[in-house]
Amino acid sequence: MTAWTMTDLLPHRPPMVLVDRLLSFDDDNAIVQADIRPDHPFLRPQGVAAHVGMEMMAQACGVHVGALARQAGTGVRLGFLLGTRSYVAHLSWFPPGAVLDVLVHRVFNDDGMGVYDCRILLAGAEAAAAQLSLYQPPDQETALARLRGEHG
C-alpha cells in the first residue's frame, strides 16, 4: 500500500472519489480498492449498482497514471474516459460493506491515449470486467476551456 491518498493521485474530489486505496502498481498494472461504505454517493439499499463499476475502473486507471506521475515527480493530470468495450457485470449490485479489488492492466499507451483491461473482484471472484479507452490531453487548460465552451 502506498502513502498517497486518492486525491493525491486523481483530479477528482469527494464525494466523487469512488476508489479508496492504491495497494500496488508498476509500469503497466495497478491494484486499487473501493469500499462500498455508508457514505458512498451511489449507495442504495441493495448496494451500489454494478454499472458504477465502470467509473471505478476508470478512476483506478487514473490512479495508475497518477501514481506513475508522482513517482516521476510530475503533476497529476486530467484524463477522460472515451469509451468501453464489453463491460460485463456478473452481479447487479455491489453489496453494502463490500471491499472491491479493482485490477487494471495497461495494454496500450501512445501520445496520451491509453487502453486498459480492467477487472473488479469481490471476495476473489470476478464481479465485472471491461476494456477502457482513455485520453490525457497534452494541454489541460485548453481542453477544460473547450469543455466549458470557451473559444480563443
pLDDT digits (tens, 9 = 90+) for 6-46: 999 999 999 999 999 999 999 999 999 999 999 999 999 99
Q: What is the pLDDT of residue 148?
A: 80
> Rounded to an integer, what distance in angstroms lies between the CA atom of residue 128 and that of residue 125?
9
**pLDDT at residue 95, rounded to an integer:** 98
Q: What span, in angstroms and rounded, lies between the C-alpha atoms of 80 and 15?
A: 18
Cα 98 to Cα 37: distance, rounded to the nearest angstrom: 8
Alpha carbon distance 51, 22 (integer Å) = 21
Write out pLDDT tens, residues 96-108.
Answer: 999 999 999 999 9
**Domains, in order of start, for the chain:** 6-148 (3.10.129.10)
Whole-model pTM over 0.85:
yes
- Distant-in-sequence, close-in-space partners of 111: CB < 8 Å, separation ≥ 6: none
Q: Tell which phi-psi region holds residue 114, choosing left (phi > 0), alpha (psi between -120 and 50) or beta.
A: beta
Q: Collapsing DSSP states into helix, strand and coil, what is residue 26? A: coil
Residue with cell 486505496: 21
- Residue 95 DSSP symbol: P
Q: Which residue bears the cell 469500499?
A: 35
Per-residue pLDDT band at 152 (split at 50, 70, 90):
low
